[in-house]
Amino acid sequence: MSEPVEDTNKSKSVEDAKASAALPALGFKGMLRWAWTQLTSMRTALFLLLLLAVAAVPGSLFPQRPANPAVVTQYIKDHPDYGQILDALQLYDVYSSAWFSAIYLLLFISLIGCVTPRAIAHYKAMRSQPPRTPKRLSRLPEYGTLVVPADAGIPASRAITDAAALLKKRGYRVEVRDVDGERPSLGAERGFMKEVGNLVFHTSLIGVLVSVAIGGLFGYSGQRILVEGDTFVNTLVGYDQFSPGTNFQSSWLQPYSIQLDKFDVKFDRESPAHFGQPIDFTAQVTTKENPGAPAEKKVLKVNDPVTLGGTSIYLTGNGYAPVVTVRDGNGNIALQGPVVAKLQGDNYYSSVVIKVPDAKPEQLGFAGFFLPTAFVTEQGVSFSGDPELINPQLSLNSYYGDLGLDKGTPQNVFELDVKDLTQLNGRDLPAKGITLVPGKTYTLPDGKGSISFDGIKKYVGVDIHHNPGQVSALFFALLAVAGLVVSLYLNRRRVWVRTGTHEDGRTMVEYGLLARGEDHRLAGESAAIRELLQREWQLPTEPAASDTVASTTTKDR
C-alpha cells in the first residue's frame, strides 16, 4: 500500500473544519492559511485533475473558434435556440475560456504550493544522516541474520565497516554508529532520486505551461495560397490570413521569399479500393533568406516542412487553378491569370468564383465548377471521374452589375454575392450555362464580353508558423518524462545492520530493510544484500532457510 502520504492536512482537516465553523475568530490571515492548506492538499490536486479532464471534453463536442471560426458562425446560425447561450458560456473557446483557465491555473498554483515545501523537506532529508538504528530490527518487513564463525577473524567492528563499504558501493548513503562499542550498527539509505524525480516531473509541467504561454504571446501564424509561379514574401500583406500572438510586432517578420516552381501529386493507380487516392504531394520551391540573398532550391512535402527566417512552412492544401482571360464589354482584357478553385468533393471536384471588378462598362462575375475529369450523368448531374486532368472542364454561370467590392466590407473571395447582380448565363436561362474546355472562348450574351479558358495550373496552400516556445516546451516535456520514469521506478529504501560478538566468539550480524512507499522488490534487495555479505565473509551460501537463524523474512502486517 502507499505510504502515509503527503496529505498533511488530513489530520488537521478536522481541526480546520472546526476552525472554519468559528470563522470570525480565525481572522483574515488564518483564513488565507486555511485556504492555502486546502488548495495544496493531495485531495484538491486529484479533484482539480479530474475536473480538468472533464472540462476538456466540451472542446471536442462543439466547434472551436481558434481552429475554425467559420464553422462556429455557421453553428450558431444553425442552432438559433441555444447557439448564443453556448457562446456566452465560452463553449466555442473552451481552451481559452475563463473556467478552463481557472481550473488549470488553480491546479498549477496547487502544484507550486505542493512542490515547494516538498522540495525543501527533501533537501533537508538529503543532507541529514540516515535515521537511527531501530531497537528491534526483526520488526522490519525484511529481516535476516548471519553468523560469522569465530575463527574467521572478523570482529563486530570489522563486520560493520565491511557492511558499510558494501552498501556504499551499492549506492547507499551510510552512517556507521558506535564502531568500537558493544553493538556497532549502521544506517543506510538510498533512492533519494525518486523524490527528486517526482519534483522534476511536476516542476517540468510548469515549464511546459510557461513555454506554451510564451508561444501564445510572441508567436504568429498565417496562411497563403501559392499558384505555380507565385512568390510569397514574408510581410503582413503577403498573407491571405494572419493570426498574431498577443505581443506580436510586425517588425519581427523577416522578409524572406518563397516561390512555388512546380507541384506534383501522385495518385494510387494500383489498389482498386483506393484508386485515385493521392499518395504523394511534392512541391518544388525556390527560397531566399532575404531579398538580396542567393536563391536556394528546396522541396516541401507533407510531414516535411521548410524552415526559413525563424518560421516553418507547411504544405497543408492543394488544388487546381484554371487560367482564364476575361474581356469586358469594351473588348479590353479585364482579368487574366489563374483562379484558385476550392475543393468541394471527390476527385478534385472544385468550385470556382471569378470576380472581374475592372470590367467596363459593367463589372462581371462568374460562379461554377471545375472538373479535372468531367462526366455528366443522364440526369445532367456533372461529377469528376478522376483527380487527374483527363477531361478538364469549367462550367460557369455569369453575372453582371455591381460586385459590391467598393463598399469596403471585406468579402470572401470564394463566394459571389449575387444580390446586386443580374444573371446572364445559367441552366434556367435561354443562354444556358457556360461550358469550357482548355483553349476555348465563350462570348457572353448581350455583348457583355467574353471568357477564355487558357490552361490549368496547380496551387498549394501553405501554413506559416513561428513559435518561440516550442523548443523549451519540448525540453521540459522530455525532462518531465525523465523525472516521471525515475520517480516511478526508483525505490527509496533504508537498511540497518547491527553486529555483536557472541559469548562463544562468533560474530552475529542482523540486518533489516524498510521501503518508503510501495516497493515490490524489497525482498529481492534483501536477498541481494545477504548474498553480498556472505560472499564478503566467505560464508557458505546455504540454500535459503536451511539454517534456523537464517532468512526469517517476514512481512509485518
Partner 1 sequence: MFPINETMGQYSELFMLLAAGTYTVAFVAFAWDLAKSSKTLRAVDLKAAAAAKVPVAVGVSGSEQLPAAASAGGRTAGADMRYAAERRAPARVAVALTILGALIHGAGVITRAIGAGRVPWGNMYEFLTTGAFVAVVVFLLALIGRDLRFLGTFVIGLVVIMLVAASVAYWTPVGHLVPALQSYWLVIHVSIAVLSSALFTLTFAMSALQLVQSHRQKTLAAGGADKLGFMRLVPDALSLENLSYRINTVAFVGWTFTLMFGAIWAEKAWGRFWGWDTKEVWTFVIWVVYAGYLHARATRGWTGTRAAWLSIVGYLCVIFNFTIVNQFFNGLHSYSGLT
Q: How far is the CB of 482 from partner 1 (least distance, A)?
A: 11
Q: How far is the CB of 172 from ligand HEM (least distance, A)?
A: 21
Q: How far is the CB of 408 from ligand HEM (least distance, A)?
A: 48
Strand pairing partners for 244? Answer: 220
Which amino acid, one-letter code, is at 32?
A: L
Size of the site for partner 1 (CB under 8 A): 63
User: Dihedral, CA atoms, 236, 241, 245, 250, nearest 10 degrees?
Assistant: 0
DSSP 517: S
Residue 304 found at the interface with partner 1 (CB under 8 A): yes
Interstrand relation of 306-308 and 441-443 (parallel, antiparallel or unpaired): unpaired
114 binds, among partner 1, ligand HEM, none (CB under 5 to 8 A by kind): ligand HEM
Q: How far is CA 195 from CA 121, 192, 390, 454, in A?
A: 10, 6, 67, 71
Q: How far is the CB of 556 from ligand HEM (least distance, A)?
A: 21
376 binds, among partner 1, ligand HEM, none (CB under 5 to 8 A by kind): none
Q: How far is the CB of 133 from partner 1 (least distance, A)?
A: 26
Q: Which stretch binds partner 1 (CB under 8 A): 390-398, 430-438, 478-486, 533-541?
A: 478-486
Nearest CA to 516 among 226, 138, 122?
122
Residues 152-181 that bind partner 1 (CB under 8 A): none
According to CB under 8 A, which one of 52, 89, 109, 176 is a site residue for partner 1? 52
Residue 221 found at the interface with partner 1 (CB under 8 A): yes
358 binds, among ligand HEM, partner 1, none (CB under 5 to 8 A by kind): none
**Can you spell out the DSSP letters for 194-251?**
HHHHHHHHHHHHHHHHHHHHHHHHH-EEEEEEEETT-EEESSGGG-SEEEE-TT--GG
Q: How far is the CB of 550 from ligand HEM (least distance, A)?
A: 34
293 binds, among partner 1, ligand HEM, none (CB under 5 to 8 A by kind): none
40 binds, among partner 1, ligand HEM, none (CB under 5 to 8 A by kind): ligand HEM
Nearest CA to 308 among 217, 232, 216, 237?
232
Rounded (to 5) percent helix, strand, coil in the chain:
35, 30, 35
* Binding residues vs ligand HEM (CB under 6 A): 6, 40, 42, 45, 49, 107, 110-111, 114, 198, 201-202, 205, 484, 487-488, 517
Q: Which residues, including other chains, have CB under 8 Å from residue 90's CB and lie 6 or more apart?
A: 96, 97, 98, 99, 100
Closer by beta carbon to partner 1, 409 or else 546: 546
Q: How far is CA 451 from CA 47, 352, 359, in A?
A: 66, 14, 12
Please, are residues 526 and 533 in contact by the beta-carbon 8 Å criterion? no
Alpha helices in 462-544 (DSSP H): 470-489, 522-536
Q: How far is the CB of 115 from ligand HEM (least distance, A)?
A: 7
Residue 53 found at the interface with partner 1 (CB under 8 A): yes
Give the count of beta carbons closer than 10 Å to the beta carbon of residue 109.
Answer: 14
Q: Which residue is nearest to ligand HEM (CB)?
A: 114
Please, are residues 190 and 166 in contact by the beta-carbon 8 Å criterion? no
According to CB under 8 A, which one of 261, 264, 280, 415 is a site residue for partner 1? 280
Q: Which stretch binds partner 1 (CB under 8 A): 148-156, 276-284, 395-403, 501-509?
A: 276-284
Residue 542 found at the interface with partner 1 (CB under 8 A): no
According to CB under 8 A, which one of 49, 98, 112, 295 is a site residue for partner 1? 49
DSSP 356: E
What distance in Å separates the CA atoms of residue 189 and residue 498, rounded to the nearest whole number? 15
According to CB under 8 A, which one of 84, 271, 332, 336 is a site residue for partner 1? 271
Q: How far is the CB of 237 from partner 1 (least distance, A)?
A: 21
| Secondary structure of residue 255 in the 3-state scheme | coil
Report the residue count for the chain.
Answer: 557
Q: How far is the CB of 268 from partner 1 (least distance, A)?
A: 5
Q: How far is the CB of 272 from partner 1 (least distance, A)?
A: 8
**Per residue in 185-206, is it b (16+ CB within 10 Å) or e — as a string?**
bbbbbbbebbbbbbbbbbbbbe
Q: Which stretch binds partner 1 (CB under 8 A): 21-29, 302-310, 377-385, 443-451?
A: 302-310
Q: How far is the CB of 252 from ligand HEM (least distance, A)?
A: 31
Closer by beta carbon to ligand HEM, 6 or else 454: 6
Determine phi and psi for 471, rounding to 5 degrees. Answer: -65, -40
Binding site for partner 1 (CB under 8 A): 1-2, 5-7, 10, 42-43, 45-46, 49-50, 52-53, 56-57, 59-60, 64, 66-67, 94-95, 212, 221, 268, 270-274, 277-281, 301-305, 312, 314, 316, 463-465, 467, 470, 473-474, 477-478, 480-481, 484-485, 488-489, 518, 520, 555, 557
